[in-house]
Amino acid sequence: MVRHGFAVHPLAPGAKTPPPNCEACTAGAHQPQYCPCHAEHGWCHGFHAATTDLNTVQHWWSTQPGFGIGIACGPSRLVVIDVDAHTDRPPHRSRLLPGISIHDSVDLAGLSSGFDTLALLAAYRRRPNPCDDTSTLRVQTPSGGMHIWYRMPRHTPAFKSSSGSSKRTALAWQVDIRAANGYIVAPGTRTTAGVYQALPGTRIPAPLPLWLVAELTRTGHRTDAPAPSKPLAPISSRPGNAPRVLAALLKEVEDCGAVPEGAAFSEKLNRAAFTAGGLVQSGHLHGVETRQILIETATRARPHQPRRNAHIVETGMRAGSTRPIRPEERT
């Protein structure tokens, strides 16, 4: 899978869900993208840990050969149509294909699954049914559903995941979309329910057909990249000059951005994080926000090494927290 450039992550042995986080991350307040475990071969936060790095992948599967394989769709530029075959009672016809009204004259007797609604959508658009698309990778799921894998065409903005039962964003009843913020079980993975088995046809995802690009766009799946967040002002939980103490150190980190390498960046970031940890510990700064400011400042100066930045911030703050700082006592 990594061979194809897909970003993989472990699934708990026998399950279609990722293994649990470490204790610190279960209790922790950081956002998954800033997880310090990822720099140390940790698999915390499910698909957020996904990587194409062979060393990490080898480490994971030698630690636990029983892991299944998950693929993070976003970094792998995949869109997977997840067709369910649950035997639920269909909802009112107005909710089978969101945004498309199905005339009363259309006989819907026997419609019972995502296979039916997807076929209905394809027929309505006079396009071939994706479930029959042997030009792309299709995978049969243990519960009788089907995953139809597609690659995002070049220059197409990302799509987000959705559930077919969602009232907000959905393509069709019992058809889920696995995209930017989701993952998919790789073929060959075995769970207690059975094996995810590639179906006859090619094993390589084809580009997402343009009519499906249009359908996903129509149904609100576009996720245009969020605007970069503005740096938060340090928040002081008590009056004092803690924000000013930290600001001077952050400026040094920020200034490293003027040159792409060197400038003692790691040392400066570590010093800022260490001081921040001390100020948080003494109650002069808010921990979560301070961590975010450090990460954002580091990212602006060294955008190509997010995991390394997160690691320095985390270890620096942890070390600093053993030395509480009270800036107003300084002369």
Binding-site ranges for Zn ion (CB under 5 A): 22, 25, 35, 37, 42, 44
Identify any residues that bridge with 81 across adjacent strands, giving them in sequence order.
Answer: 148, 177
For residues 136 and 212, the answer to whether their CB atoms sit within 8 Å is no
Nearer to Zn ion, 49 or 137 (CB): 49
Nearer to Zn ion, 37 or 152 (CB): 37
Q: How far is the CB of 142 from Zn ion (least distance, A)?
A: 29
Q: How far is the CB of 322 from Zn ion (least distance, A)?
A: 20
For residues 185 and 137, the answer to whether their CB atoms sit within 8 Å is no
Distance in angstroms (rounded) separating the CA atoms of residues 277 and 321: 5
Nearer to Zn ion, 11 or 213 (CB): 11
Nearer to Zn ion, 35 or 146 (CB): 35
Closest to 178 (Cα-Cα) out of 225, 122, 123, 216: 216
Query: Token pair for residue 23?
Result: 């204790």
Nearer to Zn ion, 138 or 311 (CB): 311
Nearer to Zn ion, 37 or 250 (CB): 37
* Angle of the 265-281 helix axis to the 287-301 helix axis, nearest 10: 170
Distance in angstroms (rounded) separating the CA atoms of residues 80 and 179: 7
Q: Which residues contact 44 (CB under 8 A, 6 or more apart)?
A: 21, 22, 25, 32, 35, 37, 38
Q: How far is the CB of 30 from Zn ion (least distance, A)?
A: 6
Q: How far is the CB of 228 from Zn ion (least distance, A)?
A: 22
Distance in angstroms (rounded) separating the CA atoms of residues 113 and 129: 14
Distance in angstroms (rounded) separating the CA atoms of residues 56 and 73: 18
Nearer to Zn ion, 38 or 147 (CB): 38
Nearer to Zn ion, 31 or 181 (CB): 31
Region for residue 226 given its phi and psi (left: phi exceeds 0; alpha: psi -120 to 50; beta: otherwise): beta
Q: How far is the CB of 45 from Zn ion (least distance, A)?
A: 6
Query: Token pair for residue 78?
Result: 């995949």
Q: How far is the CB of 237 from Zn ion (least distance, A)?
A: 24
Closest to 184 (Cα-Cα) out of 230, 216, 150, 157: 150
Identify any residues that bridge with 162 across adjacent strands, giving them in sequence order.
Answer: 177
Q: How far is the CB of 273 from Zn ion (least distance, A)?
A: 16
Identify any residues that bridge with 292 across adjacent strands, giving them in sequence order.
Answer: none
Q: How far is the CB of 24 from Zn ion (least distance, A)?
A: 5
